[in-house]
């Protein structure tokens, strides 16, 4: 069983929803990233989505675009990100790390070599925004043969037939993008999301995570009631952006505590 | 002989092309692909397209023998396919007419576009005004500065021009921003991509709409000189004017196809926009796999060209394919060489070419010198240079 799968299994026994914060590796500065990862775990992260900076983040709103730009100013690319995960793993072997990013950095290394290096760094899952299942069969095989979970996004526009195709390729969990739009847009409609998540559950026994548009305790709590995992990205990055070197870890800890309390307080309706 | 038949059903040209997009767009692209399949051979649709090209765009555009310029260059005879004479001043309008007709049939009241030089933005704003569609154009703030006349034209035509401040503030960033808009407004919005890039079906569809250039040229060359040219030369940004004139010639033997990329300050300086000429690595950007200017981490690197329309780090996937199968050749022309050709054509033929097209002219000039007087080069004069007067004035130290 992969680390992601066992984390979900444990949480399920406890009747809990996973909290998955997102940060962009190298933001605000590469020297902070490993400390940030540990701070997230100490304050309730069940898994972490670690963004791989990219020059052209087409699916991201301004907040995460700026995070990418800050990281790229310090030349943080995929190779550097894998080194950060290795350093994190020196003292944490239990929290799943999911890389999230775009296809081209992986293409630049090559799918097979990337899978080797991700395995070597002890990465647990990979989300590649612009690799739909039709275009990444070989990549999925490379990941799965190394017990790394390929995680796919489902969107409000995904037709039922495609849900079948996507869940047949995915492992670990599937990630429902709760709105039509880029990351950071703030118009999550919880009624609609519930209906979609319920429809996805009819087609797969994989855990369903929900992300995009979860910005505060209230939306985190509402989402936690219907999902197996709640992903918080832009809000986390906003707090990082507004912090100084001195209060960065404290500010992130405060937001995490608020979100964790909200997620744990949700009454599960599943 | 096996006839050229590309791309495959999912938009692949060999290893290139495809549909590399976020999940939210997959459904929209499927819908577009199905609609385009339905209409691409539909006689009513094609008649409407032909009608608009004739009466609104002013087609066919002439082929013109640039005799004085050819004599001055000394060598092959240079003929120009006059896309600069189209309504709005470039080949871009051909494609926007086609896509807007599809948008209408799909019931989308809003169109968006990215633009570099502003020609595609103007062409989109124009057709949107004519068809009563809402129009939003994304344009890098750097390009807004260097193509001000086109920004003004778009505004006159009722379009909203949104400056893009991210990344290099040029064409690729405008494309990113248009994609973000599309992801958000996919229910009511048709994205009119301006070149043979983007996810399937765009590279194929834009090529098909632009192929009218080559189809006409073949007939016109036959009428004028009784044969086809020895070489066809076109500039390549994303590659739509080049694909438009190349495509009908792919199966014609003994016609060399030459794409001219922007060599900027010089290929050796790294300050250029010539991914094919410099054998850049293959990667994925803007929905397709192609040759891409990038660093070791797979981040896209900044490009440079004096012409905004060629300032793009990638290239349409079909050009990547034509390069690999050696059906087309790709070369670079520097800013300075393009400027020299620009002035040359102005003075000898009374035609002010776009800076993009001037790259093709400059290469034709180089080639012509090595060829016999009875050989023929056909250049796609993709647009007129009115939009470039400020840039040229600055570079040539001319006070307006
Ligand atoms: C006149 C002209 N030629 C060429 C181009 C380059 O585009 P493409 O390579 O798609 O023809 C542009 C783009 O703006 C243009 O305005």
- ipTM value of the model? 0.96
Q: Determine the pLDDT at residue B1.
A: 54
| A268 vs B5, residue with greater confidence | B5
Which contacts qualify for A212-217: CB closer than 8 Å, 24 or more apart? Answer: A212/A177, A212/A178, A212/A179, A212/A181, A212/A183, A212/A185, A212/A188, A213/A178, A213/A179, A213/A185, A213/A186, A213/A187, A213/A188, A214/A178, A214/A188, A215/A186, A216/A258, A217/A258, A217/A259, A217/A261, A217/A262
Active-site residue (options: A27, A46, A49, A142): A49
Rounded mean pLDDT of A195-214? Answer: 96
| Nearest CA-CA distance, residue A15 and chain B, Å | 30
> In the structure, what pLDDT confidence band is assigned to residue A98 with cuts at 50, 70 and 90?
very high
Instruction: Judge whether residue A270 has pLDDT over 70.
Output: no
Q: Determine the pLDDT at residue A180.
A: 83
Query: Two tokens at A266?
Result: 């949700």
B87 contacts: CB under 8 Å, gap ≥ 6: B56, B57, B58, B93, B126
- Contact flag B24-A131 (C-beta cutoff 8 Å): no
Q: Determine the pLDDT at residue A184.
A: 83
- Contact flag A155-B24 (C-beta cutoff 8 Å): yes
Choose, out of B9, B18, B20, B164, the residue to mutate when testing the contact with A (most A CBs < 10 Å): B20
Does the C-beta of B236 come closer than 6 Å to ligand 1? yes
The residue whose CA is least distant from atom 13 of ligand 1 is B309
Rounded mean pLDDT of A6-33? Answer: 97
> In the structure, what pLDDT confidence band is assigned to residue A1 with cuts at 50, 70 and 90?
confident
Q: Determine the pLDDT at residue A267.
A: 83
Q: Do residues B272 and B301 lie in contact, with contact meaning Cβ atoms separated by under 8 Å?
A: no
Query: Two tokens at B281?
Result: 């690595």
Instruction: Judge whether residue A269 has pLDDT over 80.
Output: no
- Contact flag B27-A159 (C-beta cutoff 8 Å): yes
- Contact flag B23-A132 (C-beta cutoff 8 Å): yes
Helix axes B92-105, B23-39, angle to 10 degrees: 100
Nearest ligand 1 atom to the CA of B383 is 1
pLDDT per residue, tens digit, chain B (400 aa), is: 568 999 999 999 999 999 999 999 999 999 999 999 999 999 999 999 999 999 999 999 999 999 999 999 999 999 999 999 999 999 999 999 999 999 999 999 999 999 998 999 999 999 999 999 999 999 999 899 888 899 999 999 999 999 999 988 999 999 999 999 999 999 999 999 999 999 999 999 999 999 999 999 999 999 999 999 999 999 999 999 999 999 999 999 999 999 999 999 999 999 999 999 999 999 999 999 999 999 999 999 999 999 999 999 999 999 999 999 999 999 999 999 999 999 999 999 999 999 999 999 999 999 999 999 999 999 999 999 999 999 999 998 888 7
Q: What gap in Å lies between CA B246 and CA B252, rounded to an integer?
A: 10
Query: Two tokens at B17?
Result: 């092309």
Q: How far is the CA of B356 from the centre of ligand 1 (A)?
A: 6
Q: Tell me how long chain A is.
A: 270
Give the chain A residue nearest B281 (alpha carbons).
A108
Q: Determine the pLDDT at residue B3.
A: 86
> What pTM did the predictor assign?
0.97
Rounded mean pLDDT of A46-65? Answer: 96
Query: Two tokens at A134?
Result: 């039709």
Q: What gap in Å lies between CA B85 and CA A257, rounded to an integer?
A: 65
Give buried/exposed letters for B118-129 (b at 16+ CB in 10 A, else e).
Answer: bbbbbbbbbbbe
User: In angstroms, what CA-CA distances link B231 with A213, B220, B235, B241, B306?
Assistant: 54, 15, 13, 15, 25
Q: Determine the pLDDT at residue A183.
A: 85
> What is the overall mean pLDDT for chain A?
96
**Alpha helices by DSSP H, chain B:** 23-39, 43-52, 67-73, 92-105, 119-131, 141-146, 148-156, 171-185, 202-210, 212-225, 240-246, 317-324, 335-349, 355-369, 389-395
Query: Could you read off the pLDDT of A114-136 as tens digits, one per residue?
Result: 999 999 999 999 999 999 999 99
Choose, out of B24, B31, B179, the residue to mutate when testing the contact with A (most A CBs < 10 Å): B24
Give the chain A residue nearest B285 (alpha carbons).
A104
Rounded mean pLDDT of A201-211? Answer: 97
Q: What gap in Å lies between CA B5 and CA A264, rounded to an integer?
A: 58
Does the C-beta of B120 come closer than 6 Å to ligand 1? yes
The residue whose CA is least distant from atom 7 of ligand 1 is B237
Q: How far is the CA of B337 from the centre of ligand 1 (A)?
A: 18
Q: Do residues B122 and B270 lie in contact, with contact meaning Cβ atoms separated by under 8 Å?
A: no
């Amino acid at each position: 069983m992969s680390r992601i799968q066992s984390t979900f299994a444990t949480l399920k026994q406890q009747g809990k929803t996973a909290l998955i914060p997102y940060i962009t590796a190298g933001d605000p500065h590469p020297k902070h990233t490993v400390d940030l990862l540990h701070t997230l775990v100490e304050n309730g992260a069940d898994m972490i989505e670690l963004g791989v900076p990219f020059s052209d983040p087409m699916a991201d709103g301004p907040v995460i675009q700026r995070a990418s730009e800050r990281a790229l100013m310090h030349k943080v690319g995929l190779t550097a990100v894998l080194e950060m995960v290795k350093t994190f793993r020196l003292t944490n072997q239990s929290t799943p790390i999911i890389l999230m990013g775009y296809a081209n950095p992986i293409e630049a290394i090559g799918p097979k070599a990337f899978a080797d290096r991700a395995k070597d760094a002890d990465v647990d899952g990979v989300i590649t925004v612009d690799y739909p299942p039709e275009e990444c069969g070989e990549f999925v095989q490379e990941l799965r043969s190394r017990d790394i979970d390929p995680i796919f996004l489902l969107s409000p526009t995904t037709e039922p037939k495609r849900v079948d195709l996507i869940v047949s390729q995915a492992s670990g969990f599937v990630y429902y993008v709760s709105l039509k739009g880029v990351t950071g847009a703030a118009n999550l409609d919880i009624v609609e999301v519930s209906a979609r998540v319920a429809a996805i559950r009819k087609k797969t026994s994989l855990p369903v995570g929900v992300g995009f548009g979860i910005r505060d305790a209230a939306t985190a709590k509402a989402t936690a009631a219907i999902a197996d995992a709640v992903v918080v990205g832009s809000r986390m990055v906003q707090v990082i952006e507004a912090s100084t070197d001195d209060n960065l870890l404290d500010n992130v800890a405060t937001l995490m505590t608020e979100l964790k309390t909200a997620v744990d307080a949700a009454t599960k309706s599943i | 002989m096996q006839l050229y038949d590309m791309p495959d059903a999912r938009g692949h040209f060999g290893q290139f092309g495809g549909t590399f997009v976020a999940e939210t767009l997959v459904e929209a692209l499927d819908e577009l692909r199905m609609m385009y399949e339905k209409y691409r051979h539909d006689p009513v649709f094609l008649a409407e397209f032909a009608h608009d090209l004739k009466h609104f765009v002013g087609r066919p555009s002439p082929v013109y023998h640039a005799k004085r310029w050819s004599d001055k260059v000394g060598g092959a005879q240079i003929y120009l396919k006059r896309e600069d004479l189209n309504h709005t001043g470039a080949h871009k309008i051909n494609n926007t007419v086609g896509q807007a007709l599809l948008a209408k049939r799909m019931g989308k009241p809003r169109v968006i576009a990215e633009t570099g030089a502003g020609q595609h933005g103007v062409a989109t704003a124009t057709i949107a005004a004519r068809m009563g569609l809402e129009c939003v154009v994304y344009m890098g703030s750097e390009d807004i500065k260097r193509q001000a006349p086109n920004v003004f034209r778009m505004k006159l035509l009722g379009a909203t021009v949104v400056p893009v401040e991210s990344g290099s503030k040029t064409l690729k960033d405008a494309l990113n921003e248009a994609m973000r808009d599309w992801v958000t407004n996919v229910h009511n919005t048709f994205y009119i991509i301006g070149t043979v890039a983007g996810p399937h079906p765009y590279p194929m569809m834009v090529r098909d709409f632009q192929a009218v250039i080559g189809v006409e040229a073949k007939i016109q060359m036959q009428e004028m000189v009784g044969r086809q040219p020895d070489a066809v030369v076109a500039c390549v940004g994303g590659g739509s004017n080049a694909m438009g004139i190349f495509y009908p010639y792919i199966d014609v033997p003994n016609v060399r196809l030459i794409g001219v990329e922007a060599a900027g300050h010089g290929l050796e300086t790294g300050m250029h926009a010539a991914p094919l000429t410099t054998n850049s690595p293959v990667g994925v950007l803007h929905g397709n796999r192609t040759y891409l200017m990038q660093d070791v981490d797979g981040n896209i690197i900044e490009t440079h060209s004096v012409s905004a329309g060629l300032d793009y780090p990638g290239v349409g996937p079909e050009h990547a394919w034509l390069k690999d199968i050696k059906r087309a050749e790709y070369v670079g022309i520097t800013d300075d060489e393009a400027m020299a050709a620009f002035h040359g054509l102005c003075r000898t033929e009374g035609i002010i070419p776009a800076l993009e097209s001037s790259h093709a002219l400059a290469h034709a000039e180089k080639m012509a010198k090595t060829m016999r007087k009875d050989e023929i080069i056909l250049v796609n004069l993709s647009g007129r240079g009115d939009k470039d007067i400020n840039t040229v004035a600055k570079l040539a130290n001319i006070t307006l």
